Copies of this chain bind each other. A is one copy, B any other.
């Protein structure tokens, strides 16, 4: 079992991981590719003390190699769920299940709370992971709403199982879809249902009846990742130790709210790591 599992892949995750290693804990970062960090797009950064005038990509690479040099491991994947197992946590990383004593969430800015009804029907027809939940929709009709190309693999996977798959891309240049997947140009508006079960997706064009809706997002609303996590709707609530309301779950960086800046992410990553280390040690002593 890992001491600390970190979900993210930007400055907050890398600083947290580096500092867990400095305290001799086992740690792995579960994150999408480095270039999915917001920082990757920055043309010029000049306000992170000590590293004047670099671009975001170069900065990320320096951060990454500093962490790796200290023994940080990185597993490229999308985490869709974190389960509270009582004494530890279990991470679902594209159907690899990893156990860890503590979790640090460093998932970055959560851009959306989702569309109307989305969270209400989570587990009642709404899913964030085709490989996890696809089998529930065998021979049924599903819609995949995707912010990125990774959604195409999800749709292709579902095409083998489901009766009908509609694909709504929220990005340009769809490239690798199977023929049986139908692409729709529409803007999703709301998830509609009976309360118990979703029945349709409302878009700006039409309302489409369906059995399941899969969202493939760049970032997920943090409270959809882990049950019972306290947020103010958008940001994860933390105290000065970077503890969330859940035991041994910490958060750092943009996911804890403004200001959205590197130095804050790096500082909070450090604090979250030291809190995790100290709480794990405390638990082990008992």
Give per-residue flags for A269-283: 1 if the beta carbon is below 8 A from chain B beta carbons, else 0: 111001000000000
Contacts of A51 in B (CB 8 A): 50-51, 66
Digitize A61-77: 1 where CB-to-B-CB distance is under 8 Å, 0 elsewhere: 01100110110000000
Q: Check A56 for interface membership: any CB of B closer than 8 A.
A: no
Q: Which residue of B lies closest to A275 (CB)?
A: B259
Of B22, B63, B264, B274, which contacts A50 at CB under 8 A?
A: B63
CB <8 Å contact, B47 and A50 = no
Q: Could you pull out 15 A-B pairs where Cβ atoms are within 8 angstroms?
A: A14-B49, A22-B46, A22-B47, A48-B50, A49-B63, A49-B266, A49-B269, A50-B51, A51-B66, A238-B240, A259-B270, A259-B271, A261-B270, A266-B267, A267-B270
Cβ of A34 under 8 Å from chain B? no
| A18 adjacent to chain B (CB < 8 Å) | yes
Interface of A is mostly: helix
Q: How many copies does the complex hold?
A: 2
A244 to chain B minimum Cβ distance, whole angstroms, is: 14
The answer, yes or no, to whether A247 is at the interface (CB within 8 Å) is no
Within 8 Å CB of A266, what residues of B? 48-50, 263, 266-267
Q: Once the chains bind, are A18 and B49 in contact (CB under 8 Å)?
A: yes
Nearest to A69 among chain B residues (CB) is B52
Q: Which of A1-51 contact B (CB under 8 A)?
A: 11, 14-15, 18-19, 22, 46-51
Q: Are A59 and B66 in contact (CB under 8 A)?
A: no
Say if the beta carbon of A268 comes within 8 Å of chain B: yes
Q: Given A263-B269, A270-B264, A50–B59 Cβ distance below 8 Å?
A: yes
Q: Min CB distance, A39 to chain B, in Å?
A: 11
Contacts of A46 in B (CB 8 A): 22, 70
